[in-house]
Chain A
Amino acid sequence: MEQPLLSVENLGKSFKDKQVVKDVSFGVKRGKITAILGPNGAGKSTTIRSVMGIMRPDKGMVQYQNYPKQGVPHQVVGYLPEERGLYKNVKIMDIILYFADLKDYPTKKARSRALEYLKKFGLEGKDKVKVEELSKGMAQKTQFIASIIHEPELLILDEPFSGLDPVSQDVFKQEIRELAKNGTAILLSSHQMNLIEELADDLLLIHNGKTVIQGSMEEVKEQYSNYKCVIIGDNAASIFTNVPSVQNVKQDGKKTVLYLERGIHIPTWLSHMPKEVIIQEMTIDRISLHEIFVGIATEQNLMQTVGEVHA
């Protein structure tokens, strides 16, 4: 198997008494897109910041291929943080060149690359415009260019799509894919499951600082994308207790969702449906990444409520 460019092992980080990241391990390979998913406060940004060395992890290892020290070599890593901004009263080109200079990238090369990317992102001729005159989307494009201007081997994007309109999202998606195709190892975090589903090669879903799901996109889908059956109709939940192969029943007014076990045969399963079930509408499809995500996020809510009752 290919050696990952970046390997993170047993990463742990606490703030005060609260452990934000517990034993998270993953790898990012060249030419692959690895996605970190998780609800708010799951520890995504903390993990990324620990990898970047902006935070010092309490335990664990961050190892970059052929790099003798712990952590990542800054010159070959591009980083777009979640909390991002630009100096206001400077020209776009100046700030891009400054960030390139900080990475020891030759200015001349950086300039031509910057012009190329500005054109690609629809910002042609804006290189002398001041940052304060940019719209939020334009600023975000500029930040993105700044993070890849030095042709990084490893690109880390924390919530790259937040605040972008669908058109810009597509531009970013396209560019991220292309970078990966050219051999860049990419680690990104996002809330937007549909985008992750389209983009990511490898997945890491964390919750409360712990790894919940990990693997390649196909593995995860295989493992978790079970069927679910949604029935609209005035039914009591108790009717479904005798239906086989049902993992879980969720009811919300007239809507009942039956989560089915893996590997069942749908036509056979349908024949077990009780005769008295009222069906106004019925759909059967696979659980999306989105639902896995929501399932975990809401479980967290449940757990919190229980915790409060006990307390």
Chain B
Amino acid sequence: MTGGDPNRVIEAVWRIEAGRVIAGLARLVGDVGLAEELAQDALVIALEQWPQSGVPDNPGAWLMLTAKHRAIDLLRRRSRYEQKLEEVGRDQERRHADVDAEAALDDPFGDDVLRLLFTACHPILSTEGRLALTLRLLGGLSTEEIARAFLVPEPTVGQRIFRAKRTLSEKQIKIELPPPAEIPARLASVLEVIYLIFNEGYAATAGTDWMRPSLCEDALRLGRILVGLMPKETEVHGLVSLMELQMSRIAARTGPDGEPVLLLDQDRGRWDRLLIRRGLAALDRAESLGTLGPYGLQAALAACHARALAPEETDWERMAALYLVLGHVAPSPVVELNRAVAVSMAYGPARGLEIVEGLRAEKALRDYPQLPAVRGDLLARLGRTAEAGKEFERAAELTRNERERTLFRRRADALQPDK
């Protein structure tokens, strides 16, 4: 290997291999924290050796072999209860002596990685702990990178990871696939973690530090990995489709001054056609595998926009119907509010307003700025401008987003010219 900073080369290899190496080691030593330490040790040795020796031909296997040697050393060094641990050490060696590193990494079905992913996303862990551990163990991100992405101090992330690992070991959580009966609930937790990572990045796409939006790419990468590991799960394809389709709009979501651009006002020429194509293909697979779940349905909704080359080509009837189904599968007043918008586009503002009126008593939406904003928009379309103006004022009061506030105020002023 010539050219390029060796440290950055190693970092790149690490990013590609970390998940598999840690997952393979976790299988060997039965402990996530220890597996990560060993993998880190191997990384340090690589940082020392590769700049001189060059990057080995199979860097993943090299890291695995080195880490495995460390594992055996460690088991020996820890032999305070000599006999007992020596037995463990011999046992480890006996079990693995004939397994060369390549075979140890050879995980054709990705079961090691899948086991590690289910463990990192174990519901026993706090949400923050699951996010940090997943990015760290499977995304190959450093603690510092995670901290920057989540806008929290590095020691905080370190603590979250430390506590998550400690919980796993205290509660004696085995690194294994959940039994079939538990798969749906456990998979939901994995999908939730991936989508939370994605949303953390998506919400930040207007920011200045691109480290945060790159979380979207990390989440998509995890999702695509999961698709390879669980190709028969419709919701896995559904989530990937949803993320690909949302990601396709990132460039169009903000205007030249960083202001948010509403979906229907976006320049569709800036939507990423490759990601749309991938998202639609993933949705097809999700549909072919079974009934769409909440992620698949949200992807189907996103697809209605993606398929329309212009806003007026949007299939609002289909969207209204999909929101109705989504409302049954995953009831939420926000979904219902979105349905009201789709219904108003498909069947007129009066029909939409009927739904919105039913939501005004909803506690969960009491301080939700989109409720008065949607109501204001529907009232304006019905010619009830004075009422509409008041609703936009209310929306402007409620929102915590400066740019959104400007947007709402502008609409309020336009509707109440005399004020």
Do A and B pair up? The answer is: no
